């Protein structure tokens, strides 16, 4: 069973708090789904359509994501010094080298 996605994009957040903010605020901006490995943001293992672009919110890019996408660019940073996540980076990843669904199944097992 997969999650129906309006676009072939996804926002991955390193933690539940980040994913929650995107889920709530992102609705008014039409942002793609947010996922995380924490609690209720851990979605099923299939995305329909398969993911073609990926927004990644984390302190650094993981080696697994580096090898999955051909193009990775830093597009932002949380700059509020009072934010718990201050200095966390936002990456835009596109052109997956293989199926994102296959990758997602591997990392969520």
Q: What is the pLDDT of residues 61-104, one digit of tens each?
A: 989 999 999 999 999 998 888 877 888 899 999 999 999 999 88
User: HEC string of 71-105?
Assistant: EEEEEEECCCCCCCCCCCEEEEEEEECCCHHHHHH
Taking 70 as the threshold, does the pLDDT of residue 16 lie above it?
yes
At residue 70, the pLDDT reads 96
Q: Which helix (H) or strand (E) holds 27?
A: helix 16-29
First to last CA, the chain: 15
**pTM, 2 dp:** 0.82
2 pairs with which residues across the strands? 46
Average pLDDT score, the chain: 84
Residues found in the chain: 109
Quick: pLDDT tens for 41-70: 776 668 888 889 989 999 899 899 999 999
């Amino acid at each position: 069973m997969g999650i129906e996605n309006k676009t072939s994009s996804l926002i991955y957040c390193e933690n539940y708090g980040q994913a929650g903010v995107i889920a709530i605020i992102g609705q008014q901006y039409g942002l793609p789904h947010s996922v995380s490995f924490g609690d209720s943001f851990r979605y099923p293992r299939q995305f329909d359509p398969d993911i073609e672009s990926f927004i990644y919110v984390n302190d650094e890019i993981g080696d697994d994501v580096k090898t999955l996408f051909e193009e990775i660019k830093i597009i932002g940073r949380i700059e509020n010094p009072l934010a718990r996540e201050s200095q966390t980076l936002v990456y835009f990843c596109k052109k997956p080298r293989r199926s994102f669904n296959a990758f997602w199944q591997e990392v969520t097992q």
